[in-house]
Chain A
Amino acid sequence: MIKNGSRLRSQVCDTEVIVVKSSDSLDDLRAGGVAMVAIDGEKAADAALDAEFADGTVMGKRYVDESGAEVLVTKAGAGSLSVGSTKLALKEAKPLPASD
């Protein structure tokens, strides 16, 4: 299971994420339909953005799957996040009042 705090990037768009809550499902985390790699990992030269997974990600938003896995987008990109071919859902923000 990938560690909390791990940073991953898309091979086919600019999306970068950080793992907030890990789960085994994230072993198959994809962006734009293609497996995400470590933040300093190699991008495959022939990787291409899958048009079915091109909804785009938004910086600062959190995306979740049904197993409770959660990732935070640190850099926005054109691809959609998915585990296998199941797209992740946008986590609803329940904002806390400012307390610091």
Chain B
Amino acid sequence: MSISLLLDMAASSAPDRVAVVSDELRWTAGHLNTLTEGGAGVIQGSGARTVAYVGTGGALLPLLIFSSARAGVSFAPLNYRLSGVKLRELIDRLEDPLLICDSDYVDSVGGYEGRLLRSEDFLDAAASADPVSEMPEPDDVAVVLFTSGTTSAPKAVELSHNNLVSYITGTVDFASADPDDVALICVPPYHVAGVGAALSNLYAGRKMVYLRSFDPAEWVRLINSERVTTATVVPTMLDRVITEIKRAGTTLPTLRNLAYGGSKVPLPLVRTALELLPEVGFVNAYGLTETSSTIAVLGPEDHRAARASDDPAVVRRLGSVGRPVPGIEVEIRDELGAVLGPDEPGELFVRGEQVSGKYTGIGSVLDENGWFPTKDVAVLDAEGYLFIGGRSDDTIIRGGENIAPAEIEDVLVEHPGVREVAVVGVEDAEWGQIIVAVVVPEEGADPDPEELRTYVRGTLRGSRTPDRVVFRDGLPATPTGKVLRRELIDELTLDAAVGGAGQ
């Protein structure tokens, strides 16, 4: 079984359909297919067991994903923003790699002594190499993705051909796209959403237009010039795009579907987006690298129902990640492993063919019944809608009480003076940890710390009131929007140690 089956089917069904648009490149499904066979020849000729990639992707991403699959080796896209030292550390963890590198990044891996091929040279070689097409086993590793390492050192997640094929065939209807369907892809190639996008759009029959370097004005321009019908963004991109649309007054008449995910989007931003783009179907997608991306979806109808309803139980679903996708089972468990019922928060466990839970060097972390511990705090409502409460590692323990930062963040972000907020626990001699709210004020606003504390106290019980409120111009985050809480905690701890200001 191979992910290349997905390309075989797409190319067989519509070989002359333009499948990939990226800068000056325009490839039909048939042409992409042919290139991947040559690409596989190049890879096999190198003798490598893994293809590592450093670059911004574009057309190269589907080319490398499928060429690697046809060569029967795994593919590992790496974060191009990392330093040379960090990149080489990751490459060293891969089995017998061939490094494909965009010209812009060759210097950053300077001194790399292994097999290296510039992206454009790979492309040229693929166009003329003898075709190769191997068939891997279902459990062979197709793609290796390093986790972002925000709470620990990056782990190498192994996604098998079975995981990815199950995910795509379970959630995408083959060749179901309309002839005018166009997807704009601007998520990084080293993120699971980038890999998912290359596979799902190809299988659905949607033309993929790549924006390799995100810029909100360019995003808006491309939506209109390429008549894009669906796009996926991470929260920071959504924020910048909404700001740009408000600033320029542009409309997006062709856009029918806008998906967001990667990390939590503040509710006020979701509501603003819904109001600004009433013709667009919004989709909140939740998933992890370890689950081959999306495992739960809050669709356009769910968004509309939540906005239109009077029933608080329905309204609150706007803050949920929707319901599990076909093929996925979910369970909420307490610390002892007992399965909890609706409205009882605990840790989210997931099971399904698309769930990997396997890491290089560590092996599988699935329990004996195949369940994967997500380490996310979550709760299900009576109708099966899933609410994510944040990473369990981020739970603050204050005076013996467990406090989920998300609970306080969700309240504070609704305050008109607050644009973004992260709540973290800082070491304290008396309480173990105290609650500190790091607030990014709305432009022009100057909220008073005491007023914000009172605001929280008005909604949540007293023990949830932040002990301190500090202000910051922005929150340190990964490119996909995951807040670097460790950085904030370190800053605050240092601040306290030197008896600094910050209030």
Q: Mark B150-188, 1 if CB is under 8 A from A, else 0.
A: 000000000001100110011111111000000100000
Query: Counting CB contacts under 8 A, is B325 at the interface?
Result: yes
Q: Which of A3, A5, A97 contacts B259 (CB 8 A)?
A: A97
Instruction: Kindly state the separation between the CA atoms of A4 and B370 in the bound complex, as whole angstroms.
Output: 15
Instruction: Kindly state the separation between the CA atoms of A41 and B206 in the bound complex, as whole angstroms.
Output: 34
Interface range, B side:
35 or more
Query: Counting CB contacts under 8 A, is B493 at the interface?
Result: no
Residue contact A100 to B193, C-beta cutoff 8 Å: yes
Interface range, A side:
20 to 34
Q: Which B234-287 residues have C-beta < 8 A from chain A?
A: 257, 259, 261, 281, 283, 285
Mark the stretch among B6-14, B36-44, B307-315, B404-412 that contacts chain A.
B6-14
Residue contact B171 to A96, C-beta cutoff 8 Å: yes
Residue contact B12 to A99, C-beta cutoff 8 Å: no
Instruction: Kindly state the separation between the CA atoms of A3 and B5 in the bound complex, as whole angstroms.
Output: 17
Query: Counting CB contacts under 8 A, is B1 at the interface?
Result: yes
Interface SS majority for chain A: loop
Residue contact A59 to B166, C-beta cutoff 8 Å: no
Residues in A with CB closer than 8 Å to B169 are 18, 20, 62, 72
Residue contact A20 to B283, C-beta cutoff 8 Å: no
Q: How close is A46's CB to chain B, nearest CB, in angstroms? A: 28
Residues in A with CB closer than 8 Å to B297 are 96-97, 99
Instruction: Kindly state the separation between the CA atoms of A62 and B327 in the bound complex, as whole angstroms.
Output: 14
Residues in B with CB closer than 8 Å to A20 are 166, 169-170
Residue contact A100 to B294, C-beta cutoff 8 Å: yes
Q: A7-B1, A60-B175 are in contact. Are A99 and B261 (CB under 8 A)?
A: yes
Residue contact B172 to A96, C-beta cutoff 8 Å: yes
Residue contact A18 to B1, C-beta cutoff 8 Å: yes
Q: A4-B353, A100-B197, A100-B294 are in contact. Are A95 and B166 (CB under 8 A)?
A: no
Q: How close is A39's CB to chain B, nearest CB, in angstroms? A: 8
Query: Counting CB contacts under 8 A, is A43 at the interface?
Result: no
Residue contact B183 to A98, C-beta cutoff 8 Å: yes
A-B contacts besides A18-B1, A18-B169, A98-B283, 10 pairs, CB < 8 Å: A4-B353, A5-B1, A20-B169, A61-B174, A96-B172, A98-B201, A99-B294, A99-B297, A100-B196, A100-B200
The 9 closest A-B pairs by CB, nearest first: A60-B174, A99-B285, A100-B196, A5-B138, A100-B197, A5-B1, A93-B173, A97-B283, A98-B230
8 contacts between A and B (CB under 8 A): A60-B173, A74-B5, A74-B9, A75-B12, A97-B259, A97-B281, A99-B297, A100-B294
**Which B residues fall within an 8 A CB radius of A?**
1, 5, 8-9, 12-13, 138, 161-162, 165-166, 169-176, 183, 193, 196-197, 199-201, 204, 206, 230, 232, 257, 259, 261, 281, 283, 285, 293-294, 297, 299-300, 325-326, 353
